[in-house]
Amino acid sequence: MNTIIKKYNLLVLVIFIVVLPVLLWSRVIISHRALYKEMISIMTILAFFQLLGQFYLNRSNKLVSYHKMGRVVKFHKIIGYLFIGILIFHPFLIVMPRYLEPGMSATDAFISLITTFKTGVVLGIISWVLMILLVLISLLRNRLGMKYRTWRTVHGVLSVVFIVLATWHAINLGRHTDVFMSAFMIVVAGGGIALYLRKLIRDLKEVGGENAKWNVAAPVFGDGRSRECAVASE
Amino acid sequence: MAIDQINGCIGCGICVQACPTDVIRMDEKSGKAVIRYPEDCQICHLCRMNCPVDAITITPEKSILVIVAWG
């Protein structure tokens, strides 16, 4: 059973963050739109789903614990840096067709884009800033002087805030987000957030509790035996 | 019909100002541009050329070539 889970859990993840988004995108391919524009769209959609998938590629997902955590973290980092790189540039990619077509210049288009203070755009700008912040606290982890667990909590909570705002932004402004794509995004994001929050609550309960790993003195039971002795004698 | 669809509108309203025949209007509920009077479209492409996010698609079958000045 463990072998089956180990073998297929990543395959299931790939189906959810690559295959299904591509299928949903292909439902809404906009007719008469240039191929390179559609390629930019699918690249952005896939990059966003890879970031949603990051919630399943960490220790809050029990299914990935069948793999070595060092390897999972390595993939988490590679996917994060690569696809956040694409999403950081996506506001510029959106105005790129203005270089190739007559009409408004790309610079004017970009200024119009970032100065339109409507819900979707504002959400996008906040998400973009949060994304930069996430990259910075990941790159500068050792220089921040935080304990690893504190850093992990900050990174996780910031990711949850980012993904909520980014999903809302994608649903509000995405040209390929119809009802099905929106529902799928909400399901994948909601599942990931639920997994993370469960792990976070467990971590917080652990802090200061009798199961805290950094408790020096082992808890002592009523009959004077330590926890380890009590477990060993059972 | 010439103007086909609007996808990914950010609600800047530039297309509404650009359209000489008021084909496009702002939807008060969503705050985005909608095609209100498609039968009035003159296929001038002004809305498409002025959209910062390339949200407007025009049916190619009825499109006329856009003449771009050199220099």
Would B69 be classed as within a structural domain? Answer: no
- pLDDT score of A73 more than 90: no
Angstrom distance (rounded) from CA A172 to CA A36: 23
Task: Please report, for chain A, the start and end positions of each structural domain, with discontinuous segments joined by +.
Answer: 2-233
Would B70 be classed as within a structural domain? Answer: no
Give the model's pLDDT for residue A226: 45
Q: How far off is chain B from A19, nearest CA to CA, in Å? A: 23
Q: Which of B7, B31, B60 sits opposite A175 (nearest CB)?
A: B7
- Tell me whether residues B12 and A112 touch, CB distance under 8 A: yes
The pLDDT tens digits for A26-62 are 887 766 778 888 889 899 999 999 999 999 888 888 7
pLDDT band for position B58 (cuts 50, 70, 90): confident
- pLDDT score of B57 more than 50: yes
The pLDDT tens digits for A175-227 are 888 899 999 999 999 999 999 999 888 888 877 555 555 444 444 455 544 44
Phi then psi for B25, rounded to 5 degrees?
Answer: -130, 160
**Which residues contact residue A88 at a Cβ distance below 8 angstroms, ignoring those fewer than 6 apart?**
A128, A131, A132, A135
The pTM score is: 0.82
Give CA angle at A49 (A132, A36), nearest 5°.
90
Q: A–B: how many Cβ contacts below 8 A?
A: 65
pLDDT band for position A111 (cuts 50, 70, 90): very high
Segments forming the whole domain that contains residue B34: 3-62
Q: Using CB atoms within 10 Å of the CB of residue B28, give its burial: 0 to 12 exposed, 13 to 18 middle, 19+ buried.
A: exposed
Give the nearest chain A residue to B63 (CA atoms): A32
pLDDT band for position A163 (cuts 50, 70, 90): very high
- pLDDT score of A2 more than 70: no
Give the model's pLDDT for residue A213: 52
B17: domain CATH number is: 3.30.70.20
Overall average pLDDT of the A70-82 stretch: 89
- pLDDT score of A25 more than 80: yes
Beta bridge partners of B58: B3
